[in-house]
Amino acid sequence: MKYILVSGLAAATAAMTVGCAHRHAAAADPARASARNERPQTTLPTRRTARVDRRTNVLEDRLAKSEAQLTLLTAQVDELTRSDTDGLAMSFSTCLLDHLKGTTSDLAAVSVKEACLRKAERPFEAVVTPANARYGLIHNAPGASSYGLYLTLNNATPYTITEIVLTLTDKESRREDSYVVRSFPPSFMDDAAASSTAPDPTVHMMLPPGPHSFTVETGDLALTDPDRFSDSYDWKVTSVKGFVD
């Protein structure tokens, strides 16, 4: 029994000696150590990494398509806003038929409509004067308010009006201030009503024949009594643009 234990101890000691010898040999041989350290490490992709890669590819594809659509839309708008060589206005409805084809988003459609309005409009001679003007705080969008005028106007012309220049004259100092108006938002009295505005802004860029009520932002006119606006100011429309379709 004692012999067996001694033999086992001797065998273990011999194994340790051989292991140490191998390690010393590897350390003494730089080529072997370098080869061991340079063994390729392989890492299998996880399912989560694969999902992230797929989502990234989808987003990159959508971005590429959006950039292509934006390039096409920009080219269309540039073409529409260039001046006519013959000086003739393009029909608004014809412009829409020609350029709304292929639009794939509401934003693109609105941009084309705005460009067609600018393409179709022309100055025209007409007496267009607001029948009534009232000064106060106006609400054109939820959470946004400013000082301006509530106007009522009857468009008795055959034109759809797209622009007016409104001139206010201070009765005391005779100072004149002009406002180029290209949007005719409704006369909302509070934020709650303003939240019901149309999603297409071009709806408020046109005044077809007939009566209308809308607001014009003027800023603070420093009136001590807003209800006496008509006692302090005269108002008139000094120029008009529009189109007949």
Query: What is the DSSP code string of 151-168?
Result: EEEEE-SSSEEEEEEEEE
pLDDT at 191 over 60: no
Q: Give percent above pLDDT 70 in the chain.
A: 60
Alpha-carbon distance of 241 to 182, in angstroms, equals 10
Structure-model confidence comparison of residues 142 and 223, the more confident one: 223
Q: What is the pLDDT of residues 15-49, one digit of tens each?
A: 444 444 444 444 455 555 455 555 555 455 577 77
At residue 118, the pLDDT reads 92
pTM (2 d.p.): 0.62
Lowest mean pLDDT: which of 13-27, 30-44, 56-70, 154-168? 13-27
Per-domain boundaries in the chain = 89-120, 132-243
Residue 139: enclosing H or E segment and its boundaries? strand 132-141
pLDDT at 151 over 80: yes
Residue 176: enclosing H or E segment and its boundaries? strand 176-181
Task: Spell out the residues 6+ positions from residue 173 whose beta carbon is closer than 8 angstroms to its own.
Answer: none
At residue 171, the pLDDT reads 94
